[in-house]
Structure 1
Amino acid sequence: MKKSILAAALTSVIVATPAFAQDATPFTGPYVGGVLGVDSVELDSAGLEGDDQGTVYGGVIGYDMNLGGFIVGVEGEYTDSEAGHSERNILVAGDEASLNAGRDLYAGARLGYQIDPNAMLYVKGGYTNAKAKLSYDDNAGNAFSGSDELDGYRVGGGLEASANNMFVRLEYRYSDYGKYETSSLVPNIDTSRHQGVVMAGIRF
């Protein structure tokens, strides 16, 4: 599945790149696209600290308005992730705790500045809700596993290039979900993530 998504994203980039030419009104109107990149989940708690990387993939929809070179817009995103992190010997020798990322919903706004007829720099921010699964085993008969939804915020920025009705983006974003309240076996965990993604899509 990942290979299919990657192939589709690369095909969009290859097709769009030679066609870059001035649009009548670039960065305006509704759009849909695919998302593919690297997801780094970070954990920080007493005895549990670290990060691990995986693939993030999904889709984005949105709407932009070009106000004389300044672009304002709204967007929504659905992604899934293969990132997670595990640690051993946290509270007692031989125990293990792990946190695995799941689907992530995002809704927010963008503000961009047109640096070229078909290129803009932008910043973004909004609300994010992610699913996560935590498991813990002390290797002495005490274990639990459960999933939860984490609410937080996302900020980021990137570069977008437009060609006729197609676009390609390179974007970095940071999401913070605050403290993940676990069971009494494991201290509460501060959770956050860094993502670097490529987006490719079509504007209507």
Structure 2
Amino acid sequence: MFSAATSGFLLGGSLIIAIGAQNAFILRQGLLREHVFVLCLICSLADAVLIAAGVGGLGTLVASSPKLIMAVTIGGAIFLGCYAVLAFRRAMHPETLRAARGGGGSLKAAVAACLAFTFLNPHVYLDTVLLLGSLSGRFVGAPRLAYGIGAATASFAWFFGLGYGARLLQPFFARPSAWRILDIIVGLVMAGIAVSLVARLFGQVSAG
């Protein structure tokens, strides 16, 4: 179960860390110290619900078909490999993430923007429901639950860490070199998981 939870945490974390509109929004709110707890909670719970849907529904469907598991594993490895390449490309041409400063936004407006960044982004469904959910088919019973909890835990850790840690990170992430380091780490994690998926697949084929 620990291995499954760790796998879910690392995969979920590697996907969510990628710099995007949602993360930029949370970073901005963290720098402004406005509605940080509510917004981080919305993002985290949204991910948890989507992950649960993927692990509970799509994961079960995939688990019933070894050929589908193979196809999803290959697709997941390719997907993560592409993400790794994109991360390494960003590392070669880093840019600072400009979190615009404004003043006194209302909670209602902030929540509306947060929901838009979360649910109007097609990648959130690809990452949580399809990719994370499909790859949960490698686990059965309690390990699958642990995998989902691990992935959801990564979302909570990332969003709250980003929201409340923003004020501490502001001087560091004002430099392009900081984003280069982050993207290299993201690329290495994704590439490592992709390689492990391919290795496990070849191991299963050899055993069969």
Using the size of structure 1 for normalisation, the TM-score is 0.25
Using the size of structure 2 for normalisation, the TM-score is 0.25
Higher RCO (CA-CA < 8 Å; seq separation 6+)? 2
Q: Please state which structure has a larger fraction of its residues in helix.
A: 2
Point out the structure with the larger strand share.
Answer: 1
